[in-house]
């Protein structure tokens, strides 16, 4: 019986590890949650400064994340008309947020890839 319980515990741990996001890999595409909405809003001034323009719309529509020494968010943002941009936002383990990169020229169908 002890062997069975031990095996069951190990199997359960393996299933849990497989279902978790692998460190270094990006997650599946997801709809933005409250955290992503807040993180994206916090870098809006830096995005507008970097691109040299103000956006009347700045709405996250999808994202992927990556566990590193902290977390990278790869966010697709609708910025008006048929325009979308992709942001890479880094949140360190102290929860500090910084804009890492911006890609322009995307549309609604553009895949979010590592950049």
Tokens representing 47 are 């995005």
Secondary structure (3-state) at 39? helix
Q: What is the pTM of this model?
A: 0.77
pLDDT in tens, 4-31: 444 334 344 433 333 444 456 788 889 9
pLDDT in tens, 58-77: 999 999 999 999 999 999 99
Strand partners, 63: 30, 75
DSSP E strands, the chain: 59-68, 70-80, 83-91, 97-106
């Amino acid at each position: 019986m002890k062997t069975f319980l031990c095996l069951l515990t190990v199997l359960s741990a393996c299933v849990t590890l497989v279902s978790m996001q692998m460190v270094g890999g990006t997650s599946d595409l997801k709809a933005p949650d409250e955290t992503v909405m807040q993180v994206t809003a916090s870098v809006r001034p830096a995005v507008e400064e970097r691109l040299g323009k103000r956006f009347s719309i700045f709405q996250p529509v999808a994202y992927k994340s990556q566990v590193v020494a902290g977390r990278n968010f790869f966010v697709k943002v609708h910025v008006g008309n048929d325009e979308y941009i992709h942001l890479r936002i880094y949140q360190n383990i102290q929860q500090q947020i910084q804009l890492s990169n911006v890609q322009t020229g995307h549309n609604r169908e553009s895949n979010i890839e590592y950049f």
